Amino acid sequence: MPVTNIPASSVVLHKQTLCRGCRICELVCSATHDGACSTQLSRIHIAADDFAFAFPAVICRQCKTAECHAACPYPGRALCIDPDTGARYIDERECDGCGACADACPLRRTPIWEKTGSDPRVYIKCDLCRGIDGGPQCVLMCPWDALTYKQKRGP
């Protein structure tokens, strides 16, 4: 599928100036998607610096250019586009774990792609909490309003 034909996506945005590093976003993400609490299983990662009190986040940008989708050997089957939100998501049943999506990502080699302590063949990425009531759970539970859900306009 040519890059230009990929629909835009909604996206979760993180505001570093409001974030306080409580990491509740990581915990609800992993609990919701993997049924376990882990900062490593989370699709959002707070790269906290305990001494500088700086809390930058690594979070999927749901790129317009969707390099992950373009790189996937099975686009639309393993790396899919959600028709409602536009989320670029992995269908874990179809993914064979080749890692092409993660390699193509502008945020490659950040913790948001690593799935440790679980099936190492399957990569993870933010799916905007597809099929979960209330939309992205990290946004829902952030106590600081540091996370916002920017919904795409139109189809």
Partner 1 sequence: MTAPLGGWAGQILRVDLTGRQTRTVPTSPYLPDFIGGKGIATRIAWEELAPGTEPYSPDNLLMLMTGPFSGTLAPTSGKGTVCAVSPRTLPKPWFTYGGMGGNWTPELKYAGYDGIVINGAANEPVYLWINDGEVELRSARDLWGKDVFETQELLKARHGKATQVICIGPAGENRVVSATVHHRQKNCAGMSGFGAVMGSKNLKAIAIRGTGAVRIADPAGFVEACKKVHRLVHAGPTETPVRMQMGPTNVPCAHACPFGCATRSHDVSLKLGSKGGRKNIAVMCNGEAYEGGWKWYQYPTPDMEAEYTGELRTRAVDGLGKQAGDELQLQIEALGLSGWTYLTLRCWFLACLDHGVTELEGLELRPTDVDFWIELFRMIAYREGLGDLLADGLLPACERLDLPAIVKKTARWLEPMWGFPSHRDGRACEPQPSPLWVFDMLHWAIDSRDPLASHHQTGYIHCWFPPHFEGGSALVDRKKLEATFTRVFGEPGILEPGFEHLDAKTRVTKWFDDRAQLKDSLLLCDWVFPRVLNGFDSAEALQAADDYYGDIDAEASMLAPLTGIPFTSADLDRAGERIRNLDRALQIRNHGRSRVVDAAAEWVFEYPEKSDGSKLDQPLFDRILDSYYANRGWDLTSGWPTRAKLEELGLADVADELERLEGLAAPDRGDARPGPEERG
Residues that bind partner 1 (CB under 8 A): 17-18, 20-24, 27-28, 30-32, 34-41, 47-53, 116-118, 137, 140-141, 143-144
Q: Which is nearer to partner 1, 6 or 46 (CB)?
A: 46
Instruction: Write down the least CB distance from residue 86 to partner 1, Å.
Output: 25
Angle at alpha carbon of residue 127, lines to 143 and 105, rounded to 5°: 105
Instruction: Write down the least CB distance from residue 20 to partner 1, Å.
Output: 5
Q: Which is nearer to partner 1, 49 or 96 (CB)?
A: 49
152-155: list long-range contacts, CB under 8 Å, 24+ apart: 152/7, 152/8, 152/9, 152/10, 152/11, 152/85, 152/86, 155/7
| Token couple for 83 | 């028709």
Instruction: Write down the least CB distance from residue 72 to partner 1, Å.
Output: 26
